[in-house]
Amino acid sequence: MDRPLNLDLRARAELLTYLVASHLLVRQMTGDWLSVEHVVESMKLWLSSNGGGADLMQRVKLGSHALDMAKRVVQTKPIMLDPLTVKGLFCENLRLDFRSPAARELYQMSLNFLINKWWQ
C-alpha cells in the first residue's frame, strides 16, 4: 500500500515536534545540536513509525525549521533542557510522550509555528 505523500497539518506539527524534541535531547546530552544527517535519519524514523510519507519539500522545510525552533525554545524556555523534562518528552520506544506537559507544549508551539507560516 502506498503512503500518502502529503502530511496534514497535525502530522506536520507532530513531526516538527519530534525533530525539535530530538534536537533538545541531543543538546542536553552532548551540548551540540543534531547534525543534518541525524535530522534526516530522525525524520525517516518518524515517517516509518507513523506510516507517513512526506514529499521532498515538506521534509526540507520541516527539517530546516526544527533547529531554529529548538534554539528559540531554549532561549525562551530553558527548562526544556532540564534532564527530567527532556527525558519526559519521549516514551521508552523513542516516540513522543504526549502525557508529558512539555511534549504537549512543544506540539502546540509547532502547530502555531506552522499555522503562522501558512503551511496548511
**88 touches 35 (CB < 8 A):** no
- Residues 15-53 have pLDDT tens digits of 999 999 999 999 999 999 999 999 999 999 999 888 878
Percentage of the chain surpassing pLDDT 90?
68
Residue 53: what pLDDT?
82
Full-model pTM:
0.90
Q: 8 CB contacts (<8 Å, ≥6 apart)?
A: none
Model confidence at 117: pLDDT above 70:
yes
Over residues 71-88, the pLDDT tens digits come to: 999 999 988 889 999 999
- Between 4 and 42, the more confident residue is 42
* Closest alpha carbon to 72 in 23, 29, 8: 23
